[in-house]
């Protein structure tokens, strides 16, 4: 009887230890960090860029002696920009590679997929660039280092109404992207709250090439500004076709439009396009300058917001590993949640009770084929 009780007790202890992660990974020579990104496929530009930033931060930490006396190893999985693939990618990172934490993704739709797996396995995840509020609502292990779309929607609304003096707005939404659907909602609430009128509210699908039907009804509604809440490829094509149709209203978008490709695809038709985003390569803070120089030296190009946020996601994780003084998930989760006034490249990062970062945004404008800094907007 006593023997059986002892036996049962031992099993309970083992179960508890496993559940809290005490027995999960034997001491290894490296600390493995996972990353999932769209390295190929439609949004490869973003995945590649955030990956370059993330890898740079990991390499710099290793060159400076590593973390907790160990080197970091970044294990990367490509989700090919495809729906469904992020679940598989993140499962591999956790179950096969035994990563201590997961960095990713850029697009909110894919972060929602990855977050469901990280939360189920209780492995901390840090998204660099996903701004839809639902991402961190997936659970207490999901964090981000960027601002969220209620803030972005309201700053776009204020800019349109007060700076561009536009009282009539047309909105174009990518109907399957959680990011776009959310940003439209938050923009609309803020804009109508400021006394603006939404004169057209139209949808398109990711990958669409022809926007003439939507733009024809937008033209008839006589907007003073057009907001595209989706991603850069469609936004650039929308600008080209709008100008062909003789629509002259200014066009703007959120951080999903902040990419060099907006200008490559849109050419002269994106001149004057405003974007709200997280980072400007014209930023002259010492922290940003050091990053911009290191990135340029390594890749020969200026970093964009994706690169800067990828870099920051890794910095915040490394800082949390040091403060936790442990790679175990419960301690690491706690340390991430306690991130305060961390000086990162995209600004000072404080993780709030909802595991979001309260940070300023910047507005950029396409001018002579470049995205130029216009202003900083504080939360």
Buried b (16+ CB within 10 A) or exposed e, 311-338: bbbbbbbbbbbeebebbbbbbbbebbbe
Shortest distance (Å) from residue 373 CB to ligand PHE: 18
Distance in angstroms (rounded) separating the CA atoms of residues 259 and 45: 8
**In angstroms, what is the minimal distance from the CB of 131 to ligand PHE?**
4
Long-range pairs for 61-64: beta carbons < 8 A, 24 or more residues apart: 61/314, 61/318
State phi, psi for 261 to the nearest 5 degrees.
-65, -25
Least Å from the CB of residue 61 to ligand PHE: 25
Between 23 and 62, how does the x/- string for binding to ligand PHE read (CB under 6 A)?
Answer: --------------------x--x----------------
- Residue of 131, 80, 136 whose CA lies nearest to 106: 131
Distance CA 245, CA 298 (A): 42
Determine the angle formed by the axes of helices 329-337 and 305-324, rounding to 10 degrees. Answer: 120
Range 318-377, binding ligand PHE (CB under 6 A):
none
Count residues binding ligand PHE (CB under 6 A).
13
Quick note: the x/- pattern for ligand PHE over 157-196, rule CB under 6 A, is ----------------------x-----------------
User: What distance in Å separates the CA atoms of residue 45 and residue 107, rounded to the nearest whole number?
Assistant: 12
Return the residue of 104, 114, 124, 256 that touches ligand PHE, per CB under 6 A: 256
Residues 125 to 144 in contact with ligand PHE, rule: CB under 6 A: 129-132
Select the residue interacting with ligand PHE from 72, 100, 106, 345 (CB under 6 A): 106
Candidate list 39, 99, 107, 239; residue touching ligand PHE; CB under 6 A: 107
Q: In angstroms, give the least distance from the CB of 133 to ligand PHE.
A: 10
Closer to ligand PHE by Cβ: residue 49 or 241: 49
- Asked if residue 276 binds ligand PHE (CB under 6 A), the reply is no
**Are 310 and 325 contacting, i.e. CB atoms less than 8 angstroms apart?**
no
With respect to ligand PHE, which residue has the nearer C-beta, 250 or 260? Answer: 260
d(CA 174, CA 235): 10
- The two beta strands, 361-367 and 370-377, are antiparallel
- Report, in Å, the least distance between residue 179 CB and ligand PHE: 3
* 120: CB partners within 8 A, 6+ apart: none
Binding region for ligand PHE (CB under 6 A): 43, 46, 106-108, 129-132, 179, 231, 255-256
């Amino acid at each position: 009887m006593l023997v059986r009780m002892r036996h049962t007790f031992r099993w309970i202890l083992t179960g508890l230890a496993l559940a809290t992660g005490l027995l999960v990974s034997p001491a290894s020579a490296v600390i493995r960090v996972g990353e999932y990104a769209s390295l190929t496929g439609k949004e490869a530009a973003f995945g590649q860029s955030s990956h370059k930033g993330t890898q740079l931060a990991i390499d710099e930490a290793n060159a400076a002696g590593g973390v907790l006396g160990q080197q970091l190893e970044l294990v990367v999985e490509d989700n090919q920009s495809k729906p469904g693939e992020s679940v598989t990618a993140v499962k591999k990172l956790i179950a096969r590679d035994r990563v201590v934490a997961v960095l990713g993704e850029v697009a909110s739709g894919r972060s929602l997929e990855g977050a469901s797996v990280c939360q189920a396995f209780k492995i901390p995840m840090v998204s660099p660039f996903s701004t839809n509020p639902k991402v961190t609502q997936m659970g207490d292990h999901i964090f981000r280092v960027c601002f969220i779309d209620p803030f972005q929607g309201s700053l776009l609304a204020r800019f349109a109404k007060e700076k561009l003096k536009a009282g009539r707005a047309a909105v174009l939404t990518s109907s399957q992207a959680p990011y776009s659907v959310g940003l439209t909602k938050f923009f609309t609430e803020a804009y109508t709250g400021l006394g603006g009128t939404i004169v057209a509210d139209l949808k398109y699908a990711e990958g669409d090439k022809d926007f003439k039907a939507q733009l024809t009804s937008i033209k008839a509604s006589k907007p003073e500004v057009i907001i595209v809440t989706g991603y850069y490829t469609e936004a650039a094509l929308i600008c080209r076709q709008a100008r062909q149709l003789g629509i002259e209203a200014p066009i703007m978008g959120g951080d999903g439009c902040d990419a060099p490709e907006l200008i490559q695809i849109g050419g002269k038709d994106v001149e004057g396009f405003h974007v709200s985003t997280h980072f400007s390569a014209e930023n002259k803070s010492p922290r940003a300058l050091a990053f911009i120089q290191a990135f340029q030296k390594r890749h020969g190009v200026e970093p964009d917001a994706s690169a800067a946020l990828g870099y920051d996601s890794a910095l915040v994780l490394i800082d949390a590993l040091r403060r936790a003084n442990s790679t175990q998930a419960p301690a690491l989760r706690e340390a991430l949640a306690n991130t305060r006034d961390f000086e990162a490249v995209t600004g000072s990062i404080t993780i709030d009770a909802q595991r979001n970062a309260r940070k300023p945004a910047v507005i950029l404008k396409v001018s002579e084929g470049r995205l130029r800094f216009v202003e900083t907007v504080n939360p």
